[in-house]
C-alpha cells in the first residue's frame, strides 16, 4: 500500500483506533455485569465500529483515487498486519475487569471528543462530516464512562481499589495520544491541558487522582504495538485470511 | 365472591379476547404458567447472546460485524422487556436470574448447541429465529397483556434478524466451494435442533391443554412445527441447499410437507443438561454475574451515598 501521502496515514490512524477499541469492547457483549450495561457497552461498540467504517471507507476512496488501487473498508481492516496498524496502544489493551474497561473508554473518549471537535472544523468537508456525526455519539460515551468512573471510584472500598489499579495500569498509555506522529494534522499539545483538566475533574469527583508515575509508552501510532495486538488481529482477520477474495 | 365466580369471570374475559392485566384477578396457575413461560423466554434471549456473541470478534467483514453486534444487542433488549413483563406478575428479576443460575428455570435448548462456523450465524438467524417467530407471532395475541405487547415489539426485530440470517446464507450459497460447504454444514447441524424448538409432540406435551384454554398458547406445538417446515422447505430452494431429511416431501393431500421423525432421545438429553454446551452456557452466565457482583454493589453504594448527601443538603 502506497502511504506516501501522510493524510492517508492519518485517516487510517483514526479508523484503526476506533476499530481496535470497538473490537475490545465487543468482547464484553453477553458478558457484562448488568444487562443494562451490557446493552450500553454494546451500543458504544456499534458507534465505534461505525466510526471506523466511515474512516476506512473514506481512506479507501482517497487511496484509490491517488494510487489507482482497489482498497475497501475490509481490505484495510482485514488485510493489514500488526506493523501497519496505527491505533493507540491504549485501544488494544485487554479489557481486564469492568473498572479497566470503562476507564480505558473514559480516557479515550475524552481525547476523541477534543480531537473530533477540531476535526469537525476541518476544511476537508468529508472528514468534518464524519467527525460531526461521531461527536454526538462521543458525547454520550464521555458521559457514560465518566459516570462509571465516579460511581466505581466513590462506590465501595473494593471498587475504589479496582479503579486505582485500572488507572495505574492505563495511565502510562495516555501520553501517546498527545505525541505527534509525522501524519498528525492537529496540534495535539493544545489539547493536552484541556484533556488533563477534564480527566482530573472527573477523577477528583470519583475520589481518585492522577498517578504519580508519569512515564509514557508510545509506538502504536507508528505501528510498534504491544504483544496484545497480534492476537487481536489474528482472531479478527482469520476468515478473510483463510479465504482470500471471498465475499461475505 | 367465591373462587369459582372469580374463575368464571376470568375465563369469560379470555373467551371475549379481553387481555388480562397485572392488577386483574387471575388463577394462581395462570400466574405461575406465565411467569415460567415469560422468564424462560427472557432467559433464552440472554443465553442466546452467547452462541452468537462467540462470533463477534471473528465476523468476516465490518458490515457483518456491525449487523451481528446489533443483533446480539437486540436480544439483550428483548431479555430486558421480557424480564420487565414477568416482573408485573410479582417476581423480581434477581429471583429469575437466580433460578436460571441454579438450573431451576430453563431456557431454549437450541442454545446448548455450539456455533462452529461463520455460517452458523446465518443458520441461527434463518432457522432458529425463524422457528422462534412462528411461536412469537402467535404470542403477540397471548392473553396476558404485558407479554403480548412485549412480543409485538420483539417480533418486528426478529423478522428483521431472520431476513439478515437468510441473506448471510444466500451470500455463502453463491460463494466459493468452501463457503457453500460451510453453508450446507450449518444447515445440516441446525435443522433438527430447530424442529425440536417447538417442544414435544402434542400427544406428549404436559402444558398444552390448559395453556390453549387460557389462550396463553393459540396453536399447538405440532401445528407450529408444521408451519415452520412448510416455510423452510420452500425457502431452502432459493439457497440451492438441502435439508438433511430424506423423508421431507410435499404431501398433496394434506397440503403440507411430510417430514421425518425427530430424535427425541437427543431432545430429552439436551433438556436434561447433556447437550454439547449446557454446562458452558450456564457457566458463562454465572461467571458474568459473579464477576459483576462488585460492580453492582458499588453502583448501589454510590447511589446510597448520593441519596444521603442530597438528604443532608
Q: For residue A157, is pLDDT > 80?
A: yes
* Cβ under 8 Å to B: A residues 188-227: none
Q: What is the pLDDT of residue B207?
A: 66
- For residue A99, the distance in angstroms to the closest alpha carbon of chain B comes to 8
Q: Helices A125-153 and A98-119, interaxial angle, to 10°?
A: 150
Partner-chain contact A248 B171, CB within 8 Å? yes
Is the separation of the CB atoms in A19 and A220 below 8 Å?
Answer: no
For residues A141 and A40, give the distance between their C-alpha atoms in angstroms, rounded to a whole number. Answer: 9
Average pLDDT value for residue range A10-30: 97
Q: What is the largest CA-CA distance in chain A?
A: 58
Q: Which chain B residues contact residue A73 at CB under 8 A?
A: 62
The answer to whether the CB atoms of B76 and A42 lie below 8 A apart is yes
What mean pLDDT value characterizes chain B? 96
A32 touches chain B (CB under 8 A): yes
Calculated CA dihedral for residues A152, A153, A157, A159, nearest 10 degrees:
40
Please say if the pLDDT value at position B1 is more than 90: no
CB B175 to CB A247 under 8 A? yes
Q: pLDDT tens digits for B86-118?
A: 999 999 999 999 999 999 999 999 999 999 999
Q: Do A73 and B62 touch (CB under 8 A)?
A: yes
Test mutation, A26, A30, A238, chain B, max B CBs within 10 A: A30
Nearest to B57 among A32, A236, A248 (CB): A236
Helices (DSSP H) in B114-220: which residue ranges? 119-123, 129-139, 145-173, 177-196, 208-213
User: What is the pLDDT averaged over residues A6-24?
Assistant: 97
Chain B, residues 282-301, CB within 8 A of chain A, namely 284, 287-288, 291-299, 301
Region of residue B94 (phi > 0: left; psi between -120 and 50: alpha; otherwise: beta): alpha
Of B53, B176, B296, the CB nearest to A33: B296
Interatomic CA distance for residues A234 and A248, integer angstroms: 18
Question: What is the pLDDT, as a whole number, of residue B254?
Answer: 97
Percent of chain B with pLDDT over 90: 94
> What percent of chain A clears pLDDT 90, i.e. is strictly above it?
97
> Average pLDDT of A194-219?
95
Q: Are the beta carbons of A33 and B69 separated by less than 8 Å?
A: no
B56 close to A (CB below 8 A)? yes
Contact check, Cβ <8 Å, B73/A46: yes
Q: Does A40 touch chain B (CB under 8 A)?
A: no
What is the tens place of the pLDDT at every residue in A91-138?
Answer: 999 999 999 999 999 999 999 999 999 999 999 999 999 999 999 999
Check residue B206 and give its pLDDT: 72
Partner A, chain B 152-171, Cβ-Cβ below 8 Å: 168, 171
How many residue pairs bridge chain A and chain B with CB atoms within 8 Å of each other? 139
> Is B66 part of the contact surface with chain A (CB cutoff 8 Å)?
yes
- Residue of chain A nearest B291, judged by CA positions: A33
Q: Note the pTM of the prediction, 2 decimals.
A: 0.96
Q: How far is B230 from chain A (nearest CA, A)?
A: 28
Q: Is the pLDDT of residue A4 over 90?
A: no
Closest-CA residue of chain B to A102: B295
B240 — contact with chain A (CB < 8 Å)? Answer: no
Residue B9 backbone phi and psi in degrees, to 5: -60, -45
Q: Is the pLDDT of residue B77 over 80?
A: yes
Instruction: For residue A74, give the chain B residue with the closest CA.
Output: B61
Helix (H, G, I), strand (E, B) or coil at B257: strand
Best to test chain A binding among B59, B75, B76 (most A CBs inside 10 Å): B76
Q: Is B168 exposed, middle or buried (0-12, 13-18, 19+ CB in 10 A)?
A: buried
Q: Is A56 on the interface with B (CB under 8 A)?
A: yes
Q: Give how far A24 is from chain B: nearest CA, Å.
A: 8
Residues contacting residue B129 through CB under 8 Å, at least 6 positions apart: B158, B161, B162, B165
Mean per-residue pLDDT, B225-243: 98
Query: What ipTM was estimated for this complex?
Result: 0.97
Residue pair A44/A144 in contact (Cβ under 8 Å)? The answer is yes
Measured between CB atoms, does A72 come within 8 Å of chain B? no
Residue A3 above 90 pLDDT? no
Q: How many angstroms away from the CA of A160 is the closest CA of chain B? A: 9
Residue A213 has pLDDT above 90, yes or no: no
| Partner B, chain A 92-131, Cβ-Cβ below 8 Å | 97-98
Domains plus CATH for chain A? 3-242 (1.20.1260.10)
Distance CA B126, CA B239 (A): 11
Cα separation, A195 vs A115, whole angstroms: 10
Candidates A32, A42, A78; nearest CB to B288: A32
Could B65 and A49 be called an inter-chain contact, meaning their C-beta atoms sit closer than 8 Å?
yes
**CA–CA distance, B231 with B57 (Å, rounded to integer):** 32
Confidence bin at B17 (pLDDT 50/70/90): very high
- Write out chain A residues lying below 8 Å of B49, CB-based: 29-30, 38
B193-215 pLDDT, tens per residue? 999 999 999 988 776 788 889 99
Residue B209: per-residue pLDDT: 81
**Using the beta-carbon criterion (under 8 Å), do A42 and B305 form an inter-chain contact?**
no
Beta carbons within 8 Å of A207's beta carbon, 6+ residues apart:
A153, A154, A160
pLDDT on residue B204: 87
Nearest by CB to B301, from A30, A155, A238: name it: A155
B60 φ, ψ to 5°? Answer: -80, -5
pLDDT per position as a tens digit, A44-88: 999 999 999 999 999 999 999 999 999 999 999 999 999 999 999
Amino acid at each position: 500500500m502506497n502511504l506516501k501521502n501522510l493524510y492517508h496515514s492519518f485517516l487510517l490512524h483514526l479508523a484503526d483506533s476506533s476499530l481496535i477499541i470497538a473490537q475490545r469492547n465487543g468482547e464484553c457483549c453477553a458478558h457484562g455485569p448488568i444487562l443494562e450495561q451490557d446493552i450500553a457497552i454494546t451500543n458504544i461498540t456499534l458507534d465505534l465500529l461505525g466510526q471506523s467504517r466511515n474512516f476506512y471507507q473514506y481512506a479507501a476512496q482517497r487511496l484509490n483515487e491517488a494510487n489507482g488501487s482497489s482498497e475497501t473498508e475490509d481490505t484495510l481492516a482485514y488485510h493489514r498486519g500488526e506493523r501497519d496498524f496505527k491505533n493507540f496502544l491504549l485501544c488494544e489493551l485487554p479489557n481486564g475487569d469492568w473498572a479497566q474497561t470503562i476507564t480505558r473508554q473514559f480516557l479515550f473518549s475524552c481525547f476523541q471528543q477534543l480531537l473530533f471537535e477540531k476535526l469537525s472544523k476541518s476544511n476537508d468537508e468529508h472528514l468534518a462530516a464524519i467527525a460531526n456525526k461521531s461527536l454526538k455519539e462521543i458525547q454520550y460515551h464521555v458521559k457514560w464512562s465518566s459516570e462509571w468512573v465516579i460511581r466505581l471510584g466513590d462506590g465501595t472500598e473494593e471498587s475504589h481499589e479496582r479503579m486505582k489499579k485500572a488507572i495505574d495500569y492505563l495511565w502510562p498509555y495516555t501520553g501517546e495520544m498527545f505525541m505527534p506522529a509525522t501524519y498528525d494534522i492537529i496540534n495535539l499539545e493544545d489539547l493536552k491541558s484541556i484533556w488533563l483538566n477534564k480527566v482530573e475533574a472527573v477523577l477528583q469527583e470519583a475520589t481518585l487522582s492522577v498517578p504519580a508515575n508519569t512515564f509514557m509508552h508510545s509506538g502504536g501510532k507508528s505501528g510498534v504495538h504491544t504483544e496484545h495486538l497480534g492476537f487481536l488481529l489474528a482472531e479478527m482477520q482469520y476468515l478473510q485470511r483463510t479465504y482470500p477474495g471471498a465475499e461475505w | 365472591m367465591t373462587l369459582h365466580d372469580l374463575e368464571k369471570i376470568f375465563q369469560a374475559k379470555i373467551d371475549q379476547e379481553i387481555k388480562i392485566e397485572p392488577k386483574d384477578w387471575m388463577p394462581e396457575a395462570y400466574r405461575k404458567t406465565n411467569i415460567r413461560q415469560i422468564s424462560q423466554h427472557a432467559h433464552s434471549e440472554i443465553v442466546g447472546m452467547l452462541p452468537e456473541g462467540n462470533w463477534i470478534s471473528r465476523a468476516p467483514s465490518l458490515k457483518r460485524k456491525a449487523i451481528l453486534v446489533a443483533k446480539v444487542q437486540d436480544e439483550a433488549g428483548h431479555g430486558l422487556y421480557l424480564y420487565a413483563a414477568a416482573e408485573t406478575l410479582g417476581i423480581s428479576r434477581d429471583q429469575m436470574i437466580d433460578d436460571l443460575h441454579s438450573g431451576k428455570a430453563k431456557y431454549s435448548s437450541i442454545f446448548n448447541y455450539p456455533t462452529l462456523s461463520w455460517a452458523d450465524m446465518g443458520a441461527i438467524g434463518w432457522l432458529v429465529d425463524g422457528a422462534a417467530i412462528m411461536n412469537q407471532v402467535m404470542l403477540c395475541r397471548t392473553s396476558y397483556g404485558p407479554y403480548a405487547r412485549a412480543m409485538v415489539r420483539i417480533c418486528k426485530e426478529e423478522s428483521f434478524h431472520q431476513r439478515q440470517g437468510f441473506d448471510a446464507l444466500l451470500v455463502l450459497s453463491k460463494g466459493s466451494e468452501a463457503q457453500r460447504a460451510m453453508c450446507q454444514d450449518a444447515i445440516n447441524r441446525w435443522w433438527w435442533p430447530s424442529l425440536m424448538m417447538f417442544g414435544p409432540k402434542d400427544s406428549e406435551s404436559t402444558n398444552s391443554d390448559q395453556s390453549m384454554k387460557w389462550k396463553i398458547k393459540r396453536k399447538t406445538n405440532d401445528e407450529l412445527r408444521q408451519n415452520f417446515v412448510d416455510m423452510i422447505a420452500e425457502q431452502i430452494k432459493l439457497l440451492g441447499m438441502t435439508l438433511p431429511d430424506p423423508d421431507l416431501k410435499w404431501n398433496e393431500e394434506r397440503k403440507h410437507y411430510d417430514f421425518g421423525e425427530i430424535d427425541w432421545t437427543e431432545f430429552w438429553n439436551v433438556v436434561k443438561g447433556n447437550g454439547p454446551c449446557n454446562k458452558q452456557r450456564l457457566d458463562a452466565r454465572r461467571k458474568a454475574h459473579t464477576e459483576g457482583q462488585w460492580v453492582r454493589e458499588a453502583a448501589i453504594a454510590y447511589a446510597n451515598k448520593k441519596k444521603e448527601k442530597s438528604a443532608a443538603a
